[in-house]
Amino acid sequence: MTAEEFNLEFESIAPPLKSYLLRITASVHDAEDIVHDTYLKAVDKLYTFRHESTIKTWLFSIASNLAKDNQKVKKRWTEDVTDICKQEALGNRQFFQEAMQIATTSLHGAFEIKEHIAFCFTCISKSLPLEQQLCIFLKEVYEFKVGEIAVILDLSEAMVKYYLHVGRTKMIQVFDGRCALINKNGVCHQCSELNGIFNPKQKFQEEVMKIEMARDAEIADKEQLFDLRMQILQSLDPFNSGASTLQLHHLEHNRVVMER
């Protein structure tokens, strides 16, 4: 592969790679750094690429290794991340002032429930052991096959299946207990609370019924609801969506709170 061909390939793979890294690190700065380092490392090692996997798999493999190094020294988050960060935000006037300013002035500052669902999953997935979190994103959001994930993470297919199953089961259990969108008794109503703040004229119930996962909450089983949640993540680019600036501001707040 020539350098020009590689650059073209890299350009097309960079956006999903960057969003994957954001979802793993919860840091725009780290995600951008790792994309940059992935490019440099890939260029340096291009002569070793033997087309035994796709270039996308190869690049995700380099990036995943760098992300693992990046996360090694950072503590994992907890399932109640949204509760902890909500309490912190309530005592942080500057956070709300900045958020309101983004909401009123930014082109990507609108609050959207769907985007908050994706943001929420990113935060809570950081409570999983790293291998489980990586496997879930690679399979459920970026649609890699088990064999490809095994190559990317240098694991056996059996271990990829194990991490996928355990991570998925854990996430289903957490969201079933917390998310009021899919369980009437769920303890977390953060998306409706924030929608009330940023979109005071909107009727939450009407808005929420536009989302298949919430609409099917009573008829679909927990596995199906999880798949619908994953479809929401698949459909959004956290760097370029309608609410990206607002959600990235919110994510940075949570990262600072959880990693200090």
The site for another protein (CB under 8 A) is made up of 145-147, 156-159, 161-162, 164-166, 169
What b/e sequence results for 122-152 when a residue is b if at least 16 CB atoms lie within 10 Å of its CB, and e otherwise?
A: bbbbbbbebbbbbbbbbbbbbebeeebbbbb
- Within 10 angstroms of residue 36's Cβ, the number of other Cβ atoms is 13
Which region, left, alpha or beta, applies to residue 76 given φ > 0 means left and ψ of -120 to 50 means alpha? beta
Q: In a 10 Å sphere around its CB, with 0-12 CB exposed, 13-18 middle and 19+ buried, how is residue 220 labelled?
A: middle
Q: In a 10 Å sphere around its CB, with 0-12 CB exposed, 13-18 middle and 19+ buried, how is residue 189 labelled?
A: middle
CB of 237 to another protein, least distance (A): 26
CB of 223 to another protein, least distance (A): 11
CB of 168 to another protein, least distance (A): 9
CB of 165 to another protein, least distance (A): 4
Contact call for residues 72 and 25 (beta carbons, < 8 A): no
3-state secondary structure of 84: helix
Q: Which of 22, 153 has the CB closer to another protein? A: 153
CB of 161 to another protein, least distance (A): 5
CB of 173 to another protein, least distance (A): 8
Q: Which of 108, 161 has the CB closer to another protein? A: 161
Contact call for residues 127 and 77 (beta carbons, < 8 A): yes
Tokens 């840091």: give the residue: 27
Residue 188 pairs with which residues in a beta bridge? Answer: 179
